């Protein structure tokens, strides 16, 4: 039997949390390992395991009906998809950060070199502030850039703040919070309405917390 929906999932950091979320909603009965298989069939669904930034590509082009992706990626790529639901997982913040001694200079700057994995969000953010920028695209370990004077500041994700702290950087300004979102292909939304609404109702369903085990009961 053919699957009802094809769903693109982000490999990496959001992967486990997404599987746990789907399990808690009864969408997945068992978990699957993040191995080498990139196409996994489970019940009514076929899951595609792809890079986080590629999730919107699969959904926008109709290869996947649905996808799970961080809001940060949606802001950067602005794909032509519908955003259906905030899963409330993968919470982090997009921020400008730098060396503490740069803060006063940052506040007065008319030009900045900014290292980031998010060039579009960065350009738009500083354009609105009237600050000229040289945006330096990096694919990771962005925190290194101000330490080695490759950039004045960075625009990156922060969750616990540990990476910033360990590299002696501090947050200058917050741009946006981010959580994982469920996105939908526009044609699928019309052509597979029943399947998508059935999936969405499962995702939105409030399920009772697991029964308290006897050994956990307060005495």
Ligand X SMILES: Nc1ncnc2c1ncn2[C@@H]1O[C@H](COP(=O)(O)OP(=O)(O)OP(=O)(O)O)[C@@H](O)[C@H]1O
Binding site for ligand PRP (CB under 6 A): 13, 140-143, 156-163
Pick from ligand PRP, ligand X, none: which does 119 bind, CB < 5 to 8 A by kind?
Answer: none
Can residue 68 be called a binding residue for ligand X (CB under 6 A)? no
Q: Helices (DSSP H) in the chain: which residue ranges?
A: 15-24, 55-60, 71-77, 103-108, 119-129, 144-147, 162-166, 186-191, 193-204
CA 143, 176, 87, 189 dihedral sign is negative
Distance CA 173, CA 119 (A): 17
Contacts with ligand X by CB under 6 A: the residue count is 16
Minimum CB separation of residue 92 from ligand X in Å reads 4
**Which of 1-9, 50-58, 145-153, 183-191 is the region at the interface with ligand X (rule: CB under 6 A)?**
50-58
The side-by-side arrangement of strands in the sheet containing 5-10 is 39-42, 45-50, 5-10, 66-70, 180-184, 82-86
Distance CA 63, CA 48 (A): 10
Minimum CB separation of residue 145 from ligand PRP in Å reads 11
Instruction: Supply the Cα-derived Rg of the chain in whole angstroms.
Output: 20
**Which of 8-16, 94-102, 125-133, 141-149 is the region at the interface with ligand X (rule: CB under 6 A)?**
8-16
Minimum CB separation of residue 164 from ligand PRP in Å reads 6
Binding site residues, ligand X, CB under 6 A: 10, 12-14, 51-53, 70, 72-73, 90, 92, 140, 157, 159, 178
């Amino acid at each position: 039997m053919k699957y009802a929906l094809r769903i693109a999932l982000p490999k990496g950091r959001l992967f486990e949390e997404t599987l746990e979320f789907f399990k808690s909603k009864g969408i997945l009965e068992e978990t699957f390992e993040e191995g080498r298989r990139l196409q996994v069939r489970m019940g009514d669904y076929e899951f595609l395991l792809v890079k986080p930034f590629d999730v919107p590509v699969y959904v926008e082009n109709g290869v996947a009906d649905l996808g799970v992706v961080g809001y940060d990626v949606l802001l950067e790529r602005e794909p032509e998809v519908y955003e259906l639901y905030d899963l409330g997982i993968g919470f982090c913040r997009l921020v400008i950060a730098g060396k503490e001694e740069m803060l006063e200079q940052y506040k007065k700057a008319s030009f900045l070199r900014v290292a980031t994995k998010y060039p579009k969000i960065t350009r738009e953010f500083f354009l609105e502030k009237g600050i000229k920028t040289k945006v330096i695209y990096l694919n990771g370990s962005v925190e290194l850039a101000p330490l080695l004077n490759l950039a004045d500041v960075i625009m990156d994700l922060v969750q616990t703040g540990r990476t910033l702290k360990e590299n002696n950087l501090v947050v200058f300004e917050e741009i946006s919070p981010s959580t994982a979102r469920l996105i939908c292909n526009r044609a699928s939304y019309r052509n597979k309405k029943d399947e998508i609404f059935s999936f969405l109702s499962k995702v939105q369903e409030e399920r009772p917390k697991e029964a308290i085990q006897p050994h956990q009961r307060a005495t």
